[in-house]
Amino acid sequence: MSVTRAERPRPTVRGTANRVFRLLPESLRLRWFPSRVTYRATDVPPPVTAPEAPVRLYIAPENSAGQGWAWARAAEQLPGVRAVDMQYRGARHLGYPADTTVPSAVVAHSDRWGRAQYTAVAHGFTHVVMESQRPIFGRRFRGDVGAEVAALVRAGVGVASLCHGSDIRLPSRHRAHEPDSPFHDTESDLTRRLQSRAERAAGLLDEIDGPEFVSTPDLLLDRPHATWLPVVVDLDRWSTDRALFAGDRPVAIHAPSNAGLKGTEFAEPVLRRLDEAGDIEYRAIERTPAERMPAIVHDADIVIDQFSLGIYGVAACEAMAAGRLVVSHVSEFVRDTVRDETGLELPIVEATLATLEQVLRDIRDRPEHYRERAAAGPAFVAAVHDGRRSAAALAPFLGVAPV
């Protein structure tokens, strides 16, 4: 049914003003409407500068837990490779190292930055790893990651995708395998949002049909054709001579990056009950800057990781590198994958929400037994997570021989 002119909604003054504002050149928006722009002209950084090398790798834009930067350094172990990572910088920036950071507001709103950044990357780099299906050129392609990939490929750039976790982990698959999955409530906003996000990401990755990496082995269940790109830990930064279980009772810490996905609400009552009973000393760690974490981990005996996802990641590797005893639920699939890929056993003490109290009491009663398990941590991290295996995983994509 047609709509007459009289029936059409009349444009409001505000709506008209918004349209005019969006049509203005960026320089005029910044000059005439500074209160409506969430960044200043001085906040717009110059485009990235490509290094001088035969193979030039660009990794962007997540740098989750500093891993973009760490993978860039790992890639530089390969012959003829130099790398640069980029990270959006928002209000919750925790101080992880990055080669370049760009304010999130600039990425979202600066046409000038997006155009210059695309030109710099397309003509300066030979390879790009795009993290978590997030756009790396802001408004240049209207946030369309598929269009970004197509443009880079046309420019002769090799492009790979990298998934970190919730960006691709399907809640519907996960809850079928994990009894304590955080996704059993199929009607929760979290489950529905992450299901939708993962489905969109999977569709985009299928459409792009390029090389894929995943940062944790469990994600191979969602992307079977991907390559595991192990997270990287600086062993020197996390190493300590502090003896384990030297105090009157074990010190246990829990520092979840996302409490809603780690089973924190169910694990904490157990930890606090054991603390009140004098079995352990429990310390909850929240929103702590990255530079403070080594000292906090060094001062602990036990690092409580997670009980809902069945994975291990950066925090667990850092704790193992420090020789701390890591207690967590890690699925058999992940443990088997690690064993098959590396020939090593993952030295994380297995515990579920149902067995956590029993495991912690056993640690209290048999510290000598668990010292041996913790002592295997630094050697495991040195063999799997010091960057060499990550470099080897990237080598075929970069077209170079692994060292």
CATH of the domain at 303: 3.40.50.2000
Q: Are residues 249 and 311 in the same domain?
A: yes
Q: What is the pLDDT of residue 3?
A: 46
Q: Are residues 162 and 241 in the same domain?
A: no
Judge if 377 and 392 occupy the same domain: no
Co-location of 302 and 213 in the same domain:
no
pTM of the predicted structure, to 2 decimals: 0.89
Q: Is the residue at 291 inside a domain?
A: yes
Residue 84 and residue 180 share a domain = yes
3 is a domain residue: no
One domain for residues 280 and 199: no
pLDDT along the chain (403 residues), means of 10: 50 57 59 60 87 98 94 98 92 76 88 94 98 94 95 98 96 95 94 96 96 98 98 97 94 89 94 97 90 95 97 97 98 98 98 97 96 97 98 98 89
Full residue range of the structural domain in which residue 258 is found: 235-384
Where are any strands of DSSP class E within 150-241? 158-163, 212-214, 227-228
Whether residues 92 and 21 share a domain: the answer is no
- Write the CB contacts of 204 (distance below 8 Å, at least 6 apart in sequence): 133, 145, 146
Report the relative pairing of strands 302-304 and 251-254 from DSSP bridges. parallel
Residues 182 and 287 occupy one common structural domain: no
* Domain-embedded: residue 109: yes
CATH of the domain at 112: 3.40.50
Using a 10 angstrom Cβ sphere, with 0-12 exposed, 13-18 middle and 19 or more buried, the burial of residue 144 is middle
Residue 197 lies in a domain: yes
CA distances from 394 to 23, 144, 311, 400 (A): 42, 25, 22, 9
Q: Is residue 1 part of a domain?
A: no
- Please tell me the predicted confidence (pLDDT) of residue 92: 58
Query: Does residue 223 lie within any of the structural domains?
Result: yes
Q: In DSSP terms, which residues pair with 303 in a beta bridge?
A: 253, 326
Residue 256 has a pLDDT of 86
Report the pLDDT value the prediction gives residue 219, as an integer from 0 to 100.
98
Phi-psi map region of 27: left, alpha, beta (phi>0 left; psi -120 to 50 alpha): alpha
Same structural domain, 25 and 52: no
Q: Are residues 76 and 21 in the same domain?
A: no
Q: Which two tokens stand for residue 8?
A: 């059409």
Based on the fold, state whether residues 279 and 189 are members of the same structural domain.
no
Does residue 22 sit within a domain? yes
- Residue 16's pLDDT is 57
| Inside any domain, residue 4 | no
How many distinct structural domains can be found in the chain?
Answer: 3
Whether residue 326 is found in the same domain as residue 219 = no
Backbone angles phi, psi at 399, to 5 degrees: 75, 30
